[in-house]
Chains A and B, each alone.
Chain A
């Protein structure tokens, strides 16, 4: 079975803090993604990566950065957290051609 793990299920941070969200996959797949999910807006793509050290901006990259130093790990970084970044963050991975995506359990982030 595919396994995607995320470092935290719930996180509370203060405005201005630097926040790291970690995602690890065990399938040796190339493609990894970070989404945020908000009521009424659905899943929105923040960044994705199709190989180690490669990254591509998604639809809403502002205020975020990512790191992919190893194939199995894809990190999302909030350089200076703001209240409008309070959301559910979901990591996903996929094999070639980005077909079926396998999601982690999500991290619910609250920025105060």
Chain B
């Protein structure tokens, strides 16, 4: 069955370091993959979209990679700040299903 996996354990890092979050998927052929940020008690906010024919996408301190062979996306936040603390969700679109499918998210905690 189709599955998206994000590390369910919280990621704790020190301010200024690079945070790397992982999204793995199985039994999908996504046309594109997205990353969202969600703060407690609020709706997710779109961050970045990367298509299947793109290897890497950047936006300010954010970088996303997409490896369709490994079936994996990595989400990096460089020079992390306490304000980056949130839950980060990956979402896939395409393949057999014509819907956006979300992972369960990874909680990032950046310590000052």
Contact = CB atoms under 8 A, between A and B. Distances in A.
Centre residue among B43, B89, B98, B103 by max chain A CB count within 10 A: B43
Contacts, number: 45
B44 interface: yes
Contacts of B100: 45, 98, 101
A35 B6 CA distance: 19
A41 B102 CA distance: 10
Range of interface residues on B (Cβ < 8 Å): 20 to 34
Please name the 7 residue pairs, one residue from A and one from B, whose CB atoms are nearest each other, closest first.
A103-B43, A42-B104, A43-B102, A100-B46, A106-B43, A103-B44, A42-B102
A42 B103 contact: yes
B103 A99 contact: no
Interface of A: 4, 35, 40-43, 45, 48, 58, 90, 92, 98-106, 108
B11 interface: no
Contacts of B61: none
A68 to B, nearest CB: 17
9 contacts: A41-B104, A42-B102, A43-B102, A45-B99, A90-B43, A92-B43, A105-B42, A106-B42, A106-B43
